[in-house]
Amino acid sequence: MRIGVITARYSVSGVPLAQARLAAVLAWAGHQVDYVIGYAPPDLEVPEPEGTQRLMLGAPTVRAAIRPLCRYLREARPDIVFSAEDHLNAAVAIAAILTRSGVRISGSSRVTPLGTNSDSPFGAYSNKRFTKRWALKKLVRATAWRQNVMTCVSRDMVEQYRAAMPGLTYHAVYNIVSDARVAALLTAPLDNDPWLPAKGRAEDLGDPPVLVAAGSLEHRKGFDDLLRAVALLHQRGRPVRLIVLGEGSQRSALESLIVELGLSTHVRLPGREANPYRFFRRASVFALSSHEEGLPNVLVEAMLSGATPVATDCPTGPREVLQDGAYGYLVQPRDPASIADGLIAALDHPIAPERLAEGIKRFTEAAVLARHSELLGMPLLATGDEGKRADVYCSLSNDK
């Protein structure tokens, strides 16, 4: 089959990377796959997932993408399209309607429709008439009939969408996080890092343990709370080091806070990292301090790497990923003291890599493609392939 996997705007995190993984896995399964990108900032190098054809629409907005999406559907004639994020899902549905395409559409929702407060960036919809969020809600409802399957990346999010959109049917389908490239990424060298040894953990060499976090340097990620938690650890006589991977608008504010808290020699913000696995694998703890999430892929990536996770119990995702705390430590969002307690618990009682490996099996290629096949009523895996690569990435060795 010919399959299009579409993302609106390329970045080195979140939805675009999840879509790239899906595209590569579908290509491995023997399909002709187009990785379709609406727009990519000129400062980013966009990879071409293995076995796929990358197509750039050159559309900086979703509205501008409708015409090139129409052209793509007419010329490529895909059998299935996987799109992600509500505004793009609606645009793909509109393009299919305009072109009278018979393509099957699987649209994935990635942010919670119900925000926790009035300024929440994750409150996707509003009942206040003639606002942008009200218009998006109306648009999603108007185009839902043309989407064959409507999915969310967590069960909690499904419940929120059902409440926000009564009468529409949503299904939970996880992102693929464990894919075939992980083994190479895990074992990639990390040369001459001053804090992370080539093998083992920093504390094995008598150095302070290293915590790693990753994500966009934005307010919703709660990195200011994490920094204050690290300061509390130092006050309690538990010195640690923290590496935060990522880039964003809050860099200057976070750098100022690091100085204010006296953490200049204990915290690093190295920027974007193409292979965060090599940091996760050498860290003692992975910390997720978000105020809100969809379903945090990075939390699963850290588990896969063998780092003990500490995550805020925010809506939605972390509790579901960690299975109510079975695979890591849940702490209160926006609460540095709670985060500090969780970090100490993780340092004193780390989760065994074998147990973490058990927790990520839901996010393997075979498990996710089987779920998509079930919902679409079309086999995406050849008979006999279902378990062929499902556990390759779960063999975490002891040479962290």
- Does the pTM surpass 0.85? The reply is no
Between 256 and 275, name the one with better pLDDT: 256
Q: Give the C-alpha separation, 277 to 187, whole Å.
A: 8
Q: What pLDDT is stored for residue 86 in this prediction?
A: 93
Q: Give the C-alpha separation, 387 to 369, whole Å.
A: 11
Q: Give the C-alpha separation, 69 to 56, whole Å.
A: 11
Instruction: Give a three-class secondary structure readout of the chain.
Output: CEEEEEEEECCCCHHHHHHHHHHHHHHHCCCEEEEEEEECCCCCCCCCCCCEEEEECCCCCHHHHHHHHHHHHHHHCCCEEEEECHHHHHHHHHHHHHHCCCCEEEEEECCCCCCCCCCCCCCCCCCCCCCHHHHHHHHHHHHHHHCCEEEECCHHHHHHHHHHCCCCCCEECCCCCECCCHHHHHCCCCCCCCCCCCCCCHHHHCCCCEEEEECCCCHHHCHHHHHHHHHHHHHCCCCCEEEEECCCCCHHHHHHHHHHCCCCCCEEEEECCCCCHHHHHHCCEEEECCCCCCCCHHHHHHHHHCCEEEEECCCCCHHHHCHHHCCCEEECCCCHHHHHHHHHHHHHCCCCHHHHHHHCHHHEHHHHHHHHHHHHCCCCCCCCCCCCCCCHHHCCCCCC
Widest Cα–Cα separation across the chain = 66
For the record, the structure tokens of 315 come out as 């809506």
Domain 182-358 has CATH 3.40.50.2000: yes
Q: Give the C-alpha separation, 187 to 210, whole Å.
A: 18
Describe the strand order of the beta sheet including 308-312 as a list of residue ranges: 267-271, 241-245, 210-214, 285-288, 308-312, 329-331
User: Could you read off the pLDDT of 51-88 as tens digits, one per residue?
Assistant: 999 999 999 999 999 999 999 999 999 999 999 999 99
Q: Give the C-alpha separation, 112 to 273, whole Å.
A: 27
Q: What pLDDT is stored for residue 323 in this prediction?
A: 95
Q: Give the C-alpha separation, 330 to 56, whole Å.
A: 40
Residue 193: which residues within 8 A CB-CB, separation 6 or more? 282
Domain boundary assignment for the chain: 2-173, 182-358
Q: What pLDDT is stored for residue 127 in this prediction?
A: 78
- Of 152, 201, 177, 1, the closest CA to residue 81 belongs to 1
Q: What pLDDT is stored for residue 216 in this prediction?
A: 93
Q: How confident is the model at residue 192 (pLDDT cuts 50, 70, 90)?
A: confident
Query: Is residue 398 over pLDDT 90?
Result: no
User: Could you read off the pLDDT of 94-109 as tens digits, one per residue?
Assistant: 999 999 999 999 999 9
Whether the CB-CB separation of 81 and 106 falls below 8 Å is answered with yes
When pLDDT is averaged across residues 151-164 and rounded to a whole number, the result is 90
- Of 363, 375, 294, the closest CA to residue 327 belongs to 363
User: Could you read off the pLDDT of 332-360 as tens digits, one per residue?
Assistant: 999 999 999 999 999 999 999 899 989 99
**Average model confidence (pLDDT) for the chain?**
89
Q: What is the CATH number of domain 2-173?
A: 3.40.50.2000
For the record, the structure tokens of 109 come out as 């929702």
Q: How confident is the model at residue 384 (pLDDT cuts 50, 70, 90)?
A: low
Q: How confident is the model at residue 204 (pLDDT cuts 50, 70, 90)?
A: confident
Whether the CB-CB separation of 266 and 272 falls below 8 Å is answered with no
- Find where tokens 């300024």 sit: 119
Whether 182-358 and 2-173 are alike in CATH topology: the answer is yes
Residue 44: which residues within 8 A CB-CB, separation 6 or more? 10, 11, 12
